[in-house]
Structure formats: structure tokens, C-alpha cells
Amino acid sequence: MERQLDEVIIALVGKYTALEDAYASVLKALTHAALFCNRKLKVLFIHATDLEANTQKDDPVKYHEAWQQLCSAHGVLVPGGFGSRGIEGKIAAIEWARTQSKPFLGICLGLQCAVIEFARHVLQYKDANSSEFDKCEHQVVIEMPEHNPGIMGATMRLGRRTTHFVTDDSIVRKLYGDMDSIDERHRHRYEVNPKYIEVFEKAGMKFVGRSDDNERMEILELENHPYFVGVQYHPEYISRPLKPSAPYLGLIWAACGELKNVLTHVTKQQSPTDITIKSPSPFSHANLFRHT
């Protein structure tokens, strides 16, 4: 007999939504996490440009339908990508998630858009942007300094890299099993500008995971928010059905309203892998925090 599972709705805000296969690894990671939480996953594919002011002017029906979908979701995911198209729509979606306390996960470019949004609307750097899109005064996202600007070939930071947690007070650290460091796969050319980190952190955006040299910001979390997380790497690449990606699992749990309960149980255990909570609780799997 097929089980009747509660539904969790995630809005995926991207620029390639007409071709769902473009997000195949992201969808699988969401599916792994939802199954682990005993939830039925529903993904709303929202084209980022449909959330922008130009669409409101040119096609108000499409604009309002996109915003209606976004507002109906339990959580928001902004995945990776390249290029300027749809950036303002992604930033608008992130601002909504931040101000409405809606669970949010940003992957790669999604993290960078979260940084830009925070810089514009919290730090009041109205022109804040990435050097990929605009040569503005406040370039809060820049091309990695060892690369030659404008040269696209063989300039990406690729492959497995180590991220070190720089604080014990981190939701993502707990989701990874309270480890000192993790290894995840990367695929990016731009990064958060390190000269702005101090002002970001004073305003409540904490960069809790960093590279070996402490210069590259790998994980951000927002204070006083149920789940507002950005990661520079691509955790979906190593997600598996029986070992879902920690950031995706956090998003699903938060979207289900269970994350606080989960983390409370974790802190009471000697080891996160010792959790033994009876079904039908969606966080009853003993080994869900194991990450190798």
C-alpha cells in the first residue's frame, strides 16, 4: 500500500527552468532529502526573470503567477549558474525569503546573489553587485584574484576542496555532524570579496565555513532566521539516497518546520549518529548526519 506522506513544496528559482534536466543533480538531492524526512516533494520551477520588474510591466499575469508560486512554497532554493540574465529575479526571491523568514538555500551563484541582496538592502550599498555583472563601486563578489579577468578558459575552481568551520555556533556544522571540516566539490569562478567580510558579519551575515587559507567564504548563515544558508560549493554532487546532502536536508527539515527539533536532539547526544527517535518522526534515521 502506498504511504500518504505530507507534502513539502520547494520553489526552485533559476534561469534554466524550461529544461528541468539542467537541474538534475539538484532535483535528486532534494528528492533524497525529502525521502529521508518522509515527505512528498513538490518542486515549483520559477523562471527568475518572471519575478523581475520588466516582466511586471510587459506581462503582469506571468509576473503575478510567478510571485504567487514563490509565496506558496515552504522553502526557496536558488541554484548555481552563470551570466546576468535573471539575477535581479533571484535577488528579489532571496530578499523575500530573508524578510519573510522563509527557509532558503543558495548554491554557488545562489550564495553570491544572497550576498548582493544583503549588501543592497541591509548594508545599504545600493549599487552592490558582482564583477561578473557590473563594474560598480561595491563589488561584493569578485573574480578570484589568481585568474586573469576576461579570460574564461581553464580559470574555474574545480574539484574537491576542504572547508573549515570557524565557529561552533553553526546550523550547517551541526547538520554535517559537528565536524571541524568537510570536503565538497566546487565549480566556480567568482567568490565573495574578502574586504567586505567584517562589515557583513557585524550586520548578522556570518561566514561560518572558509577555505584552508581563511580567504574564501564557503558557507554563510544569517542570524535570527530559521534557515538562511548559502554554500559556495555544490553539495548535490555527492548526495545519495541513504546519505542526503546536509545543506539540502537542512532546507527540507526547515521547510517542514522540524529543523529546530532535529538540532535540539542532536545537541543532547554524545554523537549525532546516535540519534534514535521512534518513527513516524521525519528525523528518526540514526545515521543521517554521517558524512565522509
Q: Is residue 286 part of a domain?
A: no
pLDDT at 263: 87
Among the listed residues 243, 244, 281, 241, the one whose alpha carbon sits nearest the alpha carbon of residue 265? 281
Q: Which of 37, 52, 108, 225 is catalytic?
A: 108
Amino acid making up residue 2 = E
The 3-state DSSP class for residue 139 equals strand
Q: Which of 52, 88, 117, 236 is catalytic?
A: 236
Span 13-57, pLDDT tens digits: 998 665 667 789 999 999 999 999 999 999 999 999 999 999 999
Q: Is residue 82 part of a domain?
A: yes
- Let me know if 225 is a catalytic residue: no
How far is residue 84 from each of residues 2, 15, 90, measured CA to CA in Å?
44, 10, 10
- Let me know if 234 is a catalytic residue: yes
Q: Which three cell numbers stand for residue 151?
A: 579570460
Q: Is residue 62 part of a domain?
A: yes
Is the per-residue pLDDT at 236 higher than 50?
Answer: yes
Q: Is residue 163 part of a domain?
A: yes
Contact criterion met (CB below 8 Å) for 157 and 186: yes
Among the listed residues 199, 288, 254, the one whose alpha carbon sits nearest the alpha carbon of residue 76? 254
Q: Is residue 288 part of a domain?
A: no
Length of the chain (residues): 292
Q: What angle do CA 162, 205, 127 make, to 5 degrees?
A: 110
Contact criterion met (CB below 8 Å) for 246 and 254: no
pLDDT at 276: 36
Q: Which of 186, 188, 234, 285 is catalytic?
A: 234
Residue 162: pLDDT band by 50, 70, 90 thresholds?
Answer: confident
pLDDT at 75: 98
Q: Give 161: exposed, middle or buried? Use CB within 10 Å, 0-12, 13-18, 19+.
A: middle
- CA dist 206 and 221 (Å) reads 5
pLDDT at 23: 84
Q: Which three cell numbers stand for residue 56?
A: 511586471
Q: Is residue 283 part of a domain?
A: no
Number of domains in the chain: 1
pLDDT at 251: 97
The DSSP secondary-structure symbol of 37 reads T
Residue 195 maps to which CATH number?
Answer: 3.40.50.880
pLDDT at 252: 97
Is the per-residue pLDDT at 151 higher than 90?
Answer: no
Residue 159: pLDDT band by 50, 70, 90 thresholds?
Answer: low
Span 170-199, pLDDT tens digits: 999 999 989 898 978 776 578 889 999 999
- Let me know if 2 is a catalytic residue: no
Domain extent at residue 16: 7-147+154-274
Q: Is residue 268 part of a domain?
A: yes
Is the per-residue pLDDT at 289 higher than 80?
Answer: no
The DSSP secondary-structure symbol of 40 reads E
Q: Is residue 25 part of a domain?
A: yes
pLDDT at 282: 41
In this predicted structure, which of 93-102, 126-135, 190-199 has the lowest mean pLDDT? 126-135
